[in-house]
A and B are shown apart, each in its own frame.
Chain A
């Protein structure tokens, strides 16, 4: 019989692992807690250094997952129980209720057009609104609507308008059992909440936003239709500051993210260049501690950002941000590294680059899997040098950012995704020969 494997997490790492395993001939159950696969990469605007539109190069891979006969997509689902050991794990997966029949819905979206109830759009970092019945984003896979019961007012309009008769209010959560020979975890990352560092004013000052919010603002299909405008007054910011290491490289016990998040310097430079392409007259400054432009092509890109785009790099970590209440402009206090004195510059918009941290709920997942987490809540490698993709449990592997900032960027995630596919093929394929 055909060996089956489970991939937990449908971001770029999980997608790559799934496709490589499926094409290698394994039956893959791809479990994703959200209604669509795609993960963080789907939220990004463009990807450095090719400046490809992120979702545009990701979408074909997502669709390949949907079409590949060997891949079973279990979206909007969560792993509840894992028993057994390498070669034969018994897994219980809970399929949450969309209140929409996956087999009937064709994602035409007529229901959403008619739905009267709105809620903040998670995919847009809650900068925009979506309906109570919605498609997470236009390229979502699978193309099935989902009803968010918390914001649904039970008006029943969607029932009436749905041409496919796909709405199912009686739908019950369903628990399915799977037999798999191996498991790979790819649950990705969450972002640190910068309001924990009060002097940067996130949540208090309107024009202080996070980098992920900026990605959505810059994105053509984002809440502003790709127009670079600031929250307080919808004006085009002419003067923007990026602040690095907001919660990263931070040993304070109430923050405890001593590691370098590994990607912030790079995406900040990318975003800075994107901003210049959107608004050539906008000035951009990046405040950093050490500029960590490692990885192929990044140093060269930083050089270009300086020479061609005139991005200002300031080696200084600001102490605090205050607001000019009349204009909602922001005053950033920092030590000028050239004069070595305290300066304050005014900016229209400040973008914080927060630490990346483990996804909410990984402790629970780790318990279910019986695998160890490291001091910061990332999955611990069996041996950080020799067995970087193995966990302490044989047959359970991890790839992508859930391993911690081992990932420098998308290619690293993809390499790790393929890598776990290799590890799994090693242990499973040998049993039946090539």
Chain B
């Protein structure tokens, strides 16, 4: 039986974000009169040090046993307020949040009165639920001090080394026979023009010789189960399947170079049309010879068309493979909508290498925008000093490539600045193509429950704030799996992912959210529907009854909704609690 509720309500102005639209004092006044409310106050920023101090103070002074904050959104702030409540020796789950900014003041800017009324409704509902809240305990699990790194490119190897140097065991698997990823196949790297082997070589040597790293090449992930701190994975190796048990997983399996379909810009039709990747190979093999001219075309298969997120919302986030299959199919022909970030520098790098090998060769770069960000501007200058010619063409009119009688190529483009057609007779055409997501890794993402974005790359937990985390605890991403990056950027993200993973492993224990499914065994008939529906594999039928493995449960509620006997309820989101909210909405108090 719950003790007599003493609810404290704290309403936030969020500067003018809320205060500028909603009559906050009015709402506070209203809240103070609601049944069960002992105390109500408002502050400019409840999330500020002062606002939080006020909550702690009120809990002590008015011996509150429930707390409601009406403010921005739980997405960014629920954790902060729970911590605060906890600091005041109250169970963090005796806290409820009303979203009166994102879902009220921001969307009703032009109707302040109605917005204020809605805010009152939202607060009333939150209070109603709060009175029925029960304390919860967050399950704690041990974290195995070993990590699985998928992909031995520069990002993966960097991450592996960082963790290994910290004393953690690392299992580093690579699909190919040799570690090094796509960088291994490159000739030289911008902007230092160091040979790629100078970068990859030392890393390979280090991972091979490190006592804490087990490098397994020609190996892929077959199966992954378990949860943060305790993942069980099955690896397919040349000598049969191997099992491993790790605490964290870092996905660093890279991306692929987009290959234009046959015929696009005469690719695979006329032999003298190659990709920058292939030109890089030609330069490495020193097969260039002394061509009179090379024309490079930027953004081939990049910044083309656009995937509207709305178009793909139909897909359940969990079915990543299907989503990617659709995306890849759609993109194979017309290319990708995003900017691949590295192609401009790549083209400039190859242009410089060509000029160094064959100074007389005239190099023309057809571009739309040259995105030589950072200090790469100096690299661009270096190319111009070598008399590489940069010509801005009208991207909407793709250059036409035809063969001349004497076996050369004619590239006809429209100069964007003069608006005139320009033709270049050339010996070689190099197409700058973007990095694109790999397909295989997405099956893997599905295994690990990591969602992918509409651009086909794996999704960060938060695009801004958690760039190397995923929304699956214990699984991190590094390198180009989350979008195009150059070598230094991939190395940095490898370090970052390792740092994030090491925190879990270093602390040896981790707490997870208490909001999980709960089975009433008296009602459960063990039909197994929950087992089928659960995207996280939490329920398991044992002895005719459903057992929820809390640590796997993400609290999504699918099982509870599906259960024919209403045997499953959600902690912190019980039917009785939600119905109380609905009642409060329909029956305005006072």
Give A contacts to B, CB under 8 Å.
20, 23-25, 47, 49-50, 52-53, 56-57, 59-61, 63, 66-67, 106-108, 138-143, 220-221, 225-226, 249, 251, 258-260, 262, 290-300, 303, 337-338, 340, 374, 376, 383-386, 388-389, 404-406, 408, 410-412, 414-423, 425-427, 429-430, 433-434
Contact = CB atoms under 8 A, between A and B. Distances in A.
A259 B374 contact: yes
Contacts of B337: 299-300, 303
A294 B371 contact: yes
Nearest to A41: B464
B505 interface: yes
Instruction: Please give me the 6 A-B residue pairs with the lowest Cβ-Cβ distance, nearest first.
Output: A422-B499, A418-B496, A143-B49, A221-B15, A419-B495, A422-B495
Given A53-B17, A67-B83, A294-B371, A434 B47 contact: no
B216 to A, nearest CB: 22
Interface-centre pick from A53, A226, A416 (highest chain B CB count, 10 A): A53
B418 A340 contact: yes
B375 A386 contact: no
A422 B503 contact: no
Interface string B440-482: 0000000000000101010010111111100000000000001
Contact of B369 (A66, A290, A296, A376): A290
A299 B303 contact: yes
A292 B373 contact: yes
Contact of B166 (A59, A142, A416, A426): A426
Nearest to B457: A296
Given A422-B162, A426-B161, 11 more contacts: A143-B50, A226-B16, A262-B373, A290-B370, A303-B337, A386-B198, A405-B373, A406-B374, A412-B489, A415-B468, A418-B496
A49 B463 contact: yes
Interface string B155-195: 00000011001111000000000000000000001011010
A60 B499 CA distance: 20
21 contacts: A23-B507, A50-B462, A52-B76, A56-B77, A138-B48, A141-B49, A225-B20, A262-B374, A290-B370, A292-B373, A337-B417, A340-B417, A385-B487, A385-B491, A388-B492, A410-B465, A415-B468, A421-B496, A423-B495, A429-B166, A429-B167
Contacts of A340: 417-419
Contact of B488 (A66, A107, A384): A384
Interface stretch (B126-134, B376-384, B528-536): B376-384
Contacts of B493: 415, 419
B488 A56 contact: no
Contacts of A420: 495
B372 interface: yes
B539 interface: no
Given A260-B377, A290-B369, A386-B199, A425 B76 contact: no
Nearest to A20: B499
A434 B168 contact: yes
A107 B244 CA distance: 53
Nearest to B203: A386
B165 A430 contact: yes
B398 interface: no
Nearest to A250: B377
Given A296-B455, A303-B306, A422-B499, A221 B165 contact: no
B330 interface: no
B410 interface: no
A238 B339 CA distance: 32
A415 B467 contact: yes
Nearest to A49: B463
Interface-centre pick from B17, B192, B499 (highest chain A CB count, 10 A): B499
A49 B463 CA distance: 8
B250 to A, nearest CB: 11
Contact of B498 (A140, A422, A427): A422
B429 interface: no
B111 to A, nearest CB: 17
Interface-centre pick from A24, A142, A299 (highest chain B CB count, 10 A): A299
B500 A20 contact: yes
Contacts of B191: 384-385
B79 interface: yes
Interface string B47-61: 111101100000000
Interface-centre pick from B191, B497, B500 (highest chain A CB count, 10 A): B500
Contact of B374 (A293, A298, A405): A405
A300 B371 CA distance: 15
Contacts of B489: 412
A251 B380 CA distance: 13
Interface residues of B, number: 85
Classify the secondary structure of A's interface with B: loop
A385 B199 contact: yes
Nearest to A432: B167
A209 to B, nearest CB: 21
Contacts of B194: 385-386
B573 interface: no
B277 interface: no
B465 A258 contact: no
Nearest to B372: A260
A258 B381 contact: yes
A221 B464 CA distance: 21
Contact of A258 (B145, B377, B455): B377
B47 A426 contact: no
B435 to A, nearest CB: 12
Nearest to B460: A411
A66 B47 CA distance: 13
Contacts of A416: 492, 496
Contacts of B417: 337, 340
A425 B162 contact: yes
B85 to A, nearest CB: 13
B508 to A, nearest CB: 8
Interface-centre pick from B48, B191, B307 (highest chain A CB count, 10 A): B48
B338 interface: yes
B341 interface: yes
Given A141-B49, A293-B339, A408-B373, A52 B77 contact: no
A425 B497 CA distance: 13
Contact of A66 (B49, B374, B462, B491): B49
B341 A295 contact: yes
B488 A108 contact: no
B412 interface: no
Contacts of B145: 434
Contacts of A23: 503, 507
Interface in B370-403: 370-378, 381
B552 interface: no
A23 B507 CA distance: 8
B44 interface: yes
Nearest to A56: B72
Contact of B467 (A47, A374, A411): A411
A220 B12 CA distance: 14
A115 B341 CA distance: 51
Nearest to B49: A143
Contacts of A50: 462-464
B506 interface: yes
A106 to B, nearest CB: 7
A303 B502 CA distance: 39
Contacts of A49: 463
Given A106-B50, A226-B16, A422-B496, A410 B464 contact: yes
A61 B465 CA distance: 10
Nearest to B491: A388
A418 B168 CA distance: 18
B339 A138 contact: no
Contacts of A142: 49
Nearest to B340: A294
A20 B53 CA distance: 25
A404 B463 contact: no
Contacts of B52: 63
Contact of A225 (B16, B50, B499, B505): B16
B8 interface: no
A303 B464 CA distance: 20
